[in-house]
Structure 1
Amino acid sequence: MCASIEKSMLIADLQQQILQWQGFKQIEKKDYAICLGELEKAFPGHVFPVGTLHEFMMESNEEEAASSGFIGGLLSFLMQKDGVGLWISSSSQLFAPSIKLFGVDPDRIIFVNMEKQKDILWALEEGLKCEGIRVVIAEVQDIDFVQSRRLQLAVEKSKVTGFVLRLKSRFRGTTTCAARWHISPLPSHVQGDMPGVGSPEWEVELLKVKNGNPSRWQVGWRQNQFQAKRLVLSSNPIYHAKRKVG
């Protein structure tokens, strides 16, 4: 009996070590209660991975705006205690005050504009090395495995969370990112006959996640939190061909 218990404990310990080697920081769920609802079940331990890299694949400006909005919701939880954020952009399309919708003070985020991709990659890596920064977001069109490995080594030391926005990427091979996302905009949610544009709504697809379960959800932002409902993936091969992103 004792031998069986020791074996189970050893296996559990090895599983946790493997997750950490793959970029998943072991955290207490209460420390980062991002409250993604059904979506959280896709991750190991049903906990959104922080202190690692996430990449967002985008094919249009509309998807870029949707991804930025979804990240704004994540920032409201990642930055709720302390720290600052760093947002590195090449397009200057983000309207900084808009993230107030998610309860994030734009004064706590450093916005940097750069034109060259190599400069953005350099700034991204340097930002991820800084332990005083809570989260770094960067618009990087292409990133290969070696470059992503450098970024992963940086976050393993600093425990900073990184979001890489990849608009119309030409290279979609393997990276060390813990998760690969695709966010599409949906019509906003309007309650009853209330006037206005309503609350944000997205179709969120988790294309890849290490040791997790990729799937697709309809996610909304209501009452300062996410509400997610899992969507059934279509069995139509044409549907998947149109949606293929990574």
Structure 2
Amino acid sequence: TYGDPASIGFLLLALKAQSENTPSDAPILWATTRHQIHDGGCLFAPGLLAFNLDPNRFIMVTAKNDTELLWVLEEATRAKSFAAVVGHIQDLSFTQTRRLSLATQQGATPLFLHRPHHCQGASAAFSRWQIESQGSAKNPFDERAPGTRQLRAHLLRCRTGQTGSWSLEYETSTYPLLMVPAAANRKFAPHVASNTPRQPKGGHGFAS
């Protein structure tokens, strides 16, 4: 839905996983537009620390519009200077996503696109996710208090052919994500979502 913040949390978890799998001191480029900042605000440094992401690694870019932002994303992925590139962009044609896909391959730089819920159409992205928020898990110490965070992740498209939907539970200080069990007895709950497709290393594509 409009303004659902669960997708930002999922994106930060993806960046955290990327950082842990490919240790690097290279910066992370976070690019957005003036409209997006006015509408949804900026990243909050203490929030990044909660995900074990160093705010000092982030380079923030504010573009005037999506056209300028598209140029920033393409140049950044080709530069081979960033650990990852993130772009908040709305309308993209298939041709434009294809150009970005080629840029990620040439620059061997992971690219993540964060797009509003209403964006549709074909994409050349390696994978395409739709993220929804869910109510938190039960707090084992106080039933009136919220427990661990939960979200619903739908893998709509993946070049490997595997798609699906998962209810996921996470703490920002830990990784990986845990599958939410269907059984009522939660002591059998946590097991690693090891079958969840992961973003490939290097320049094999990008996620949207």
Partner of 2:204: none
Task: Measure, in 2, the Cα distance between the counterparts of 1:217 and 1:99.
Answer: 24
Shift of 1:112: 1.7
1:153 is the counterpart of 2:136: no
101, 109, 119: which one pairs with 2:68?
119
Cα root mean square deviation, aligned: 2.1
Say which SS state the counterpart of residue 89 (structure 1) adopts: strand
What is the identity percentage for the equivalent residue pairs of Structure 1 and Structure 2? 24
Say which SS state the counterpart of residue 14 (structure 2) adopts: helix
224, 229, 234: which one pairs with 2:174?
224
Shift of 1:168: 4.4
Say which SS state the counterpart of residue 61 (structure 1) adopts: coil
Unaligned runs of 5+ in 2: 183-208
Task: Measure, in 2, the Cα distance between the counterparts of 1:190 and 1:163.
Answer: 32
CA gap 1:230/1:144 in 2 versus in 1, 3 angstroms: farther
How many pairs does the alignment contain? 170
Partner of 1:132: 81
11, 30, 54: which one pairs with 1:87?
30
Amino acid of the structure 2 residue aligned with 1:60 = Y
Partner of 2:139: 191
Say which SS state the counterpart of residue 29 (structure 2) adopts: strand
Q: Which has the larger radius of gyration?
A: 1
Of Structure 1 and Structure 2, the greater helix share is in: 1
1:205 is the counterpart of 2:154: yes
**Where do residues 1-246 of structure 1 align in structure 2 (5 Å cutoff)?**
59-62=1-4, 65-80=5-20, 81-82=23-24, 83-90=26-33, 91-92=36-37, 93-97=41-45, 98-170=47-119, 172-193=120-141, 197-222=146-171, 224-225=174-175, 226-229=177-180
Query: What's the TM-score once normalised by structure 2's chain length?
Result: 0.74
Shift of 1:189: 3.1
